[in-house]
Amino acid sequence: MNIPDQWEQRDGTLFRSFQFKNFTEAFAFMNKVAALADELDHHPDWSNSWNVVNISLTTHSANSTVTDRDIALAEAINSLVELPS
């Protein structure tokens, strides 16, 4: 399984932390991820504290393990941060 750039396996999940200039940018990113997650019907576990968004991905229907669905969502999330805002 190829882990996408800047993601790591942590505590049985696929994990990445994102840092933004401020809360508004972090929240805008979360809105984009939410729309993408709904489109892919695969939703992250995440947290936000001011300008930091932490995302953990697992497939709950596969006993909360990392699957191809998590890899695909991580790659799609990566593409969001590479786009101009």
Tokens coding 64: 């909360």
Per residue in 4-47, pLDDT tens? 999 999 999 999 999 999 999 999 999 999 999 999 999 999 99
- CA–CA dist 48, 59 (Å, integer): 21
Residue 60 has pLDDT above 90, yes or no: no
Domains of the chain and any CATH numbers: 8-82 (3.30.1360.20)
Tokens coding 46: 């995440």
Query: Residues 57-80: what's their mean pLDDT?
Result: 94
Question: In what helix (H) or strand (E) does residue 15 lie, and over which residues does it extend?
Answer: strand 13-19
Q: What is the pTM of this model?
A: 0.92
